[in-house]
């Protein structure tokens, strides 16, 4: 990441100036790489981007909000569309675990979740992000519903919550090397249920 060299960047109020916002996000990514989560601060980002702290706080109300946008920019997780709900969910989780395991994003997201336990602004930023991800993962369920794989009364958001809880548990306990066979077993439990036949 190159340090931004233009000291004359100007905000245009509450609406983001694309050039300034990009400079700040690039600076935030660079600070995160160099200093890690513990050393990340709005002050360091402002210095590197040559931007004012008020501008950063106008567009990102907290450090957590800025970090979540950096996390989203770095997130590259393929969401399969195979025509099979089981294969789509297994593929999504395999790709997500690999991304968290092989990049710094797993550590960043784990730290954000931890900070959200004691910081209201971090909790609010995380809740907003999680709501968007719930909707996004729910689209996998919506596709299956449209194909007739699942009944029309299934609530996609509730299924997305179950998938997310499985993923977050593995992230928080640093068990991201889960084999695909174990992930597939969990997905089958989710899709088939665990009640005995006829009950």
| pLDDT at residue 15, as a whole number | 67
Question: Can you tell me whether residue 66 is helix, strand or coil?
Answer: helix
Which residue has tokens 């907003």? Answer: 128
Q: Where are the domains positioned within the chain?
A: 18-59, 77-192
Q: Does 6 score more than 50 pLDDT?
A: no
Summarize the confidence of residues 182-190 as an average pLDDT: 97
- Tell me: pLDDT of 133 over 50: yes
Q: Note the pLDDT of residue 9.
A: 37
Give the whole-angstrom CA distance, residue 167 versus residue 98: 11
Q: What is the CATH number of domain 18-59?
A: 1.10.10.60
pLDDT, residue 1, reads 37
pLDDT tens, residue by residue, 80-109: 999 999 999 999 999 999 999 998 899 999
Q: What percentage of the chain has pLDDT greater than the value 90?
A: 75
Report the pLDDT averaged over residues 37-48: 93
Statement: the pTM of the whole predicted model exceeds 0.85:
no
Return d(Cα 185, Cα 191) in angstroms, integer: 10
- Matching residue, tokens 């990102």: 60
> Please, what sign has the CA dihedral across residues 118, 122, 123, 129?
negative
CATH architecture of the domain 77-192 equals Orthogonal Bundle (1.10)
18-59 against 77-192: fold identical: no
Distant-in-sequence, close-in-space partners of 137: CB < 8 Å, separation ≥ 6: 92, 160, 163, 164
Query: pLDDT for 138-182, tens place per residue?
Result: 999 999 999 999 999 999 999 999 999 999 999 999 999 999 999
């Amino acid at each position: 990441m190159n340090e931004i060299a233009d000291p004359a960047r100007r905000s245009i109020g509450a609406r983001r100036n694309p050039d300034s916002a990009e400079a700040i996000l690039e600076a935030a990514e660079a600070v995160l790489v160099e200093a890690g989560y513990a050393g990340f601060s709005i002050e360091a980002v402002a210095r590197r981007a040559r931007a004012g702290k008020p501008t950063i706080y106008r567009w990102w109300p907290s450090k957590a909000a800025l970090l979540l946008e950096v996390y989203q920019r770095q997130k590259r997780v393929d969401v399969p569309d195979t025509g099979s709900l089981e294969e789509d969910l297994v593929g999504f989780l395999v790709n997500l675990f690999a991304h968290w395991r092989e990049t710094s994003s797993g550590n960043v997201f784990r730290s954000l979740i931890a900070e959200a336990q004691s910081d209201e602004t971090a909790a609010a930023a995380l809740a907003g992000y999680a709501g968007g991800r719930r909707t996004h993962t729910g689209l996998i369920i919506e596709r299956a519903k449209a194909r007739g794989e699942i009944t029309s009364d299934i609530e996609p958001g509730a299924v997305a919550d179950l998938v997310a809880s499985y993923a977050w548990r593995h992230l928080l306990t640093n068990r991201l090397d889960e084999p695909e066979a174990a992930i597939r077993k969990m997905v089958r439990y989710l899709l088939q249920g665990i009640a005995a036949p006829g009950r």
